[in-house]
Amino acid sequence: MSDVLFINARLIDPASGLDQQGALLVRDGRIADLGQNLGRPDGVAVVDGEGAVLCPGLVDMRVEVGEPGGEYRENIPSAALAAAFGGITTVAALPDSKPAIDDPALVRLLRTRGEETGSLTVHPYGALTRGCRGEELAELGLLREAGAVAFTDGARAIGPAKLMRLALTYARMFSARIVQHPEEPTLAAGGAATEGELATRLGLPGIPAAAEALMVARDIALARLTGGAVHFAHVSTAAALELIRRAKDEGLAITCDTAPPYFDLNETAIGNWRSYAKLSPPLRADADRQAVAAALADGTIDAVASDHQPRDPDDKRLPFAQAQPGGAGLATLLGITLAQVHGSGLPLGRALELLTVAPARILGVPAGTLARGAAADLALFDPDRSWRVTAGALPGRAQNTPFDGRALEGRVLGTWKAGRRVFGG
């Protein structure tokens, strides 16, 4: 393994508040030193950052990796390619695969499959219920022991309140978090778009935006009752965010993330029945989009995740109501988040916090920092270099991006895993 010296880089480490021009030295796959006046040891490879940002490799806390059972849509090696393109070095893999990740052996398998790529660490979620069917709890203790970072049923909400109460109580014994898809399932059943004028005009069955807030309110009450920890995924409405804000003020163990579509797009993106923009939860009214964008800055939202949901063309080339929801997000996670920096005044340090140390802390994994001694998982990017998102030309198998044709500023120049370059150069 070669030692590497990065020079002429803007070092940003949200974990420590560092933001300065300087150099960073990697030895034996770990960060040995960083600062403004580092020497050039003999025998090290030198990477000139030319003023670009060097930050921790991104940590994406919500990814479908395609394994097991969905390899025709994506697999771990192809997801690793897309992740490296986007500066991502660590992901948390959703468990609602076929079979579901409800067996400790499958947790260990996914971790190993990630290690085999040499470029991506995969931290599996454990299925909260057997088969992710929402009927009975999985063996949470054994899954946790095998390395599950938290528990969820992925894109399926935990509907029965009694089951969610039991899950929170049980998971608390392992200091584990429950990750909820916040959508009241009976209200969402059969829906394809956010209920309202646009859905009516397009003739699409609607999902009321209130379905999200109702589930959030219920689970906050259950967290208060049990003392358990709930993380709400891909939050997309102002009403839900206000409930989460109040719960945090109360001191409850509540966290949440959102995904780039919910602060960058609104429901008009589904116009002309554009199935690549069919997502779960569905795209919202612009007032909700603006509320999500504001919550990135004010701290209500704890992390930004790609919500990478690979679909193949046959899943999407259907009438809108029958098309599968989901969008590919690994390659565009950084670029779309940086659009908030360029266009809405979100501080760059805060944007990178949402993508690095914040999700790492929620998951309890050792990533997302430039601390001395930490693994040299790094991303080098030019925040002003432009590129265009083109479905069919993205790295990895999944091409179902809702951002097809979008021009972005913020291009990854290089990604390093444990000091080894895995993208760029």
Burial class (CB in 10 A: 0-12, 13-18, 19+), 294: middle
Q: Dihedrals φ, ψ of 332, to 5°?
A: -105, 0
Contact 303, 61 (CB under 8 A): yes
**Cα–Cα nearest to 417, from 110, 164, 58:** 58
The one-digit pLDDT tens for each residue of the chain (425 residues) are 579 999 999 999 999 999 999 999 999 999 999 999 888 888 899 999 999 999 999 999 999 999 999 999 999 999 999 999 999 999 999 999 999 999 999 999 999 999 999 999 999 999 999 999 999 999 999 999 999 999 999 999 999 999 999 999 999 999 999 999 999 999 999 999 999 999 999 999 999 999 999 999 999 999 999 999 999 999 999 999 999 999 999 999 999 999 999 999 999 999 999 999 999 999 999 999 999 999 999 999 999 999 999 999 999 999 999 999 999 999 999 999 999 999 999 999 999 999 999 999 999 999 999 999 999 999 999 999 999 999 999 999 999 999 999 999 999 999 999 999 999 97
Domains and CATH numbers, the chain: 4-53+376-424 (2.30.40.10), 58-363 (3.20.20.140)
The pLDDT value recorded for residue 73 is 96
Cα–Cα dist 233/254, whole Å: 11
Tell me the CA distances in angstroms from 392 to 127, 269, 320, 396, one per residue in order: 32, 19, 20, 10
| DSSP secondary structure of 290-353 | HHHHHHHHHSSS-EE---B----HHHHSS-TTTSPP-B--TTTHHHHHHHHHHHH---HHHHHH
b or e along 324-336 (b: 16 or more beta carbons within 10 Å of the residue's beta carbon)?
A: bbbbbbbbbbbbb
The pLDDT value recorded for residue 1 is 57
End-to-end CA gap in the chain: 17
Contact 279, 261 (CB under 8 A): yes
Cα–Cα dist 356/393, whole Å: 26
The residues assigned a catalytic role are 307
